[in-house]
Amino acid sequence: MEQVLVLVVLSLLGIAASHALSPRLGIAAPLLLVALGVLASIVPGMPTIEVEPEIILSGVLPPLLYAAAVQIPATDFRRELRTISGLSVILVLISTALLGVFFHWILDLSWAWSLALGALVSPTDPVATAIIKRLGVNPRVTTVLEGESMLNDAVALVLLRAAVAATAAAVTFWSVSWVFVSALTVAVIIGWLVGLLNLWVRSYVRDTTVNTVITFTVPFIAAIPAEMMGASGLVAAVVAGLVTGNGAAHVLGPQHRVADRQTWHALELVLEGAVYLILGLELLGVIEDVEARHQGVGRAVWIALAALALSLIIRTAFIIPLMGVLRRNAVTADEKRERIAADQAQLADLSTPPPLTILDRVSIRLRPGRPEEELHRRIRVRLLRAEADATYQVSTRLGWRDGALLVWSGMRGVVTIAGAQTLPSDAPERSLLILVAFVVAVVSLGVQGGTAESLVKILKPDPGQTPQQRAEERAKLQEMLGAAADDAIDQVQAEGLELDERGERLAVIHAQREVLLDARSVGVFTSSTLEASMRELDAEQIRLEL
> What tens digit of pLDDT does each residue of 188-214 get?
999 999 999 999 999 888 888 888 889
What confidence score (pLDDT) does residue 319 get?
94
DSSP 43: S
- Band (pLDDT 50/70/90 cuts) for residue 126 is low
Per-residue pLDDT tens for 458-494? 888 777 777 787 888 888 888 888 888 888 888 877 7
What confidence score (pLDDT) does residue 221 get?
95
DSSP collapsed to 3 states, 467-535: HHHHHHHHHHHHHHHHHHHHHHHHHHHHCCCCCCHHHHHHHHHHHHHHHHHHHHHHCCCCHHHHHHHHH
Contact 186, 226 (CB under 8 A): yes
CA 466 from chain centre, in angstroms, equals 25
Contact 259, 83 (CB under 8 A): no
What confidence score (pLDDT) does residue 295 get?
58
Planar angle of CA 447, 450, 451, nearest 5 degrees: 85
* Distances from the Cα of 355 to the Cα of 47, 334, 339, 361, angstroms: 70, 20, 11, 10
Per-residue pLDDT tens for 16-49? 888 888 777 777 777 788 888 888 878 777 776 7
What confidence score (pLDDT) does residue 376 get?
65
Q: Which of 175-179, 407-411, 530-534 has the lowest mean pLDDT?
A: 175-179
Q: Which of 194-198, 311-315, 341-345 has the lowest mean pLDDT?
A: 341-345
* 352: pLDDT strictly greater than 60: no
Residue 151, C-beta contacts closer than 8 angstroms, at least 6 positions apart: 84, 85, 88, 89, 235, 238
Contact 163, 112 (CB under 8 A): yes
C-alpha 56/C-alpha 278 separation (Å) is: 10
Higher pLDDT, 176 or 9: 9
Average pLDDT for 75-84 = 88
C-alpha 176/C-alpha 48 separation (Å) is: 38
Contact 381, 522 (CB under 8 A): yes
* Distances from the Cα of 38 to the Cα of 19, 254, 442, angstroms: 17, 42, 11
DSSP collapsed to 3 states, 156-206: HHHHHHHHHHHHHCCCCHHHHHHHHHHHHHHHHHHHHHHHHHHHHHHCCCC
What confidence score (pLDDT) does residue 128 get?
61
> Which of 117, 438, 58 is CA-nearest to residue 271?
58
Max alpha carbon distance in the chain (Å)?
A: 86
* 365: pLDDT strictly greater than 60: no
C-alpha 523/C-alpha 318 separation (Å) is: 29
Residue 490, C-beta contacts closer than 8 angstroms, at least 6 positions apart: none
Which amino acid is located at 405 in the chain?
L
- Band (pLDDT 50/70/90 cuts) for residue 317 is very high
What confidence score (pLDDT) does residue 173 get?
62
Q: Which of 70-84, 105-119, 418-432 has the lowest mean pLDDT?
A: 418-432
CA 232 from chain centre, in angstroms, equals 16
Average pLDDT for 384-391 = 79
Which segment, 47-56, 237-246, 273-282, is predicted with the most confidence on average? 237-246
Average pLDDT for 102-124 = 87
* 357: pLDDT strictly greater than 90: no
Higher pLDDT, 379 or 375: 379
Which amino acid is located at 408 in the chain?
W
Per-residue pLDDT tens for 393-447? 877 788 888 888 889 888 887 778 777 777 777 778 777 888 888 888 888 888 8
What confidence score (pLDDT) does residue 366 get?
42
Q: Is 251 left (phi over 0), alpha (psi -120 to 50) or beta?
A: alpha
C-alpha 492/C-alpha 498 separation (Å) is: 8
C-alpha 486/C-alpha 327 separation (Å) is: 42
What confidence score (pLDDT) does residue 312 get?
93
C-alpha 416/C-alpha 334 separation (Å) is: 41
What confidence score (pLDDT) does residue 344 get?
67
Kindly give the residue spans of alpha helices, DSSP state H, lying in 294-371: 297-348, 358-366
C-alpha 333/C-alpha 339 separation (Å) is: 10
Count of CB atoms situated within 10 Å of the CB of 143? 21
High-pLDDT (> 90) share of the chain, %: 12
C-alpha 333/C-alpha 128 separation (Å) is: 32
DSSP for 197-248 reads HHHHHHTT---HHHHHHHHHHHHHHHHHHHHHTTS-HHHHHHHHHHHHHHHH
What confidence score (pLDDT) does residue 183 get?
82
C-alpha 152/C-alpha 95 separation (Å) is: 11
* 358: pLDDT strictly greater than 60: no
What confidence score (pLDDT) does residue 360 get?
52
What confidence score (pLDDT) does residue 99 get?
93
Contact 426, 281 (CB under 8 A): no
Burial 420-430 (b: 16+ CB within 10 A, else e): bbbbeeebebb
- Band (pLDDT 50/70/90 cuts) for residue 321 is very high
- Pseudo-torsion of CA 160, 162, 163, 166, nearest 10°? 160
Which amino acid is located at 93 in the chain?
L
N- to C-terminal Cα distance for the chain? 43
- Band (pLDDT 50/70/90 cuts) for residue 340 is confident
Mean pLDDT for the chain overall = 81
What confidence score (pLDDT) does residue 192 get?
95
* 82: pLDDT strictly greater than 60: yes
> Which of 337, 303, 305, 249 is CA-nearest to residue 447?
305
Count of CB atoms situated within 10 Å of the CB of 200? 11
High-pLDDT (> 70) share of the chain, %: 87
